[in-house]
Structure 1
Amino acid sequence: MALGDQEKTSRAAEAFDRELLDLPSTARWREWMNRVEAVIFAASDPVSLEMLQRLVGRDCSIELLIEDIREELRTRPYDIVHVAGGFQHRTRPAYASAIRAASDADEAMTGLSPAQALVLMTIAYFQPLTRTELSAFIGREVSRDAIAQLRHAGFITSGPRSPQPGAPYTYITTDAFLSHFGFETLRDLPDIEKLEDAGLLDKEKLLANIPGAMDAVHEEEDEIG
């Protein structure tokens, strides 16, 4: 950023009145609520707590502001939810069928085919996974094209290199995945605690019980993520 632009940005920040000390307390709180809701509404991605804190006074609680905003939205078909480490406007699940009817296709909502959704779900629950491990879980080869499509959608990215021979790339989900499907963290995946308690998320144990899976994993070639 050029020096002139930095000075303009600095002056704009100084001119922005966070504290609103000239307003009565009730009006001040209302203005803070409006600011926070406006920024969340305008943002395409979840807005972090740190970002919202820049809009209000130093002693203002963003959490309490959000609670008051959500209370006012209680009878509306949308809400403010905490997803992927930030806050975002979301329509309520009860209206999903109406939205699907308006869009005329489930695929328009997610952009995923059933096969892609299966790959994504497997990565979400068992990450990090190599492509060969994915293929073993699903029971058929997962192509590089399938991985590329999910990467292009922003739902997965390269994870740490696997300790297997050749150190192939693994794949993990992204914050965009959490945001798109309305999860705050991966702990919000459906039934994840029940699956863990039943031992059904032990990747190594499950792969060991799939005939030929470990042999395929050991033979996996190095991939470019």
Structure 2
Amino acid sequence: MFNILIVEDEIKITQVIKAYLDKEGYHCIVANNGEQALEFFLKNSIDLIILDRMLPDISGEEICEKVRKISKVHIIMLTAKTEDSDKIDGFNIGCDDYVCKPFNVKELVLRVKAVFRKMDVENKDLLKFSDELEIDMNSHEVKVRGKKVELTNTEYKILLLFAKNQNKVFTREQLLELTIEEHYEKIDRVIDAHVKNLRQKIELDTKKATIIKTVYGVGYKFGL
């Protein structure tokens, strides 16, 4: 279930938006001012923010800028300002979409659905395990605890194999066949060397590995 933060000080508009999104099966959290919005954002896992530009305490622009410093969450901004320059300003500060008031709530719902369809496509190519490990299968980029790490092609193959098979224990022979292409390297201790190098790049403590664990007498398994 996707979590949506609705930030709008006009209660009736908030109620209508929430009712339509609730009907679509989304979980909505409502904030009626900027301070509350930032508090709720920090305390919850939010997938999308519907953000009114004109709020009584903190402007939508300021909220957008604060959120953008820490998150790439999708932001749809609601505004009564319809000039092109206003829209450009909104995009420049980090909003992803713009809906001008008055608006058709059904159109807003369609825009929300489009955001989550895009996220579903993107997430199919992204393996993420909490904040510990993230593997982008399109770019082959690997992040460990939020920091990018550089892996060799073989190290990447080994890590990806484990991440895709979280409950499987692999023997050294299986890892050789599935990740090593060079025929002259087909000796099982080669895998130990690759795993050792990989652990040095991704583990906090290589002696107490938590991402790639040793299964004594058998081989290795994924630990997350």
TM-score, normalised to structure 2, is 0.32
Greater relative contact order (CA < 8 Å, ≥ 6 in sequence): 1
Higher helix share: 1
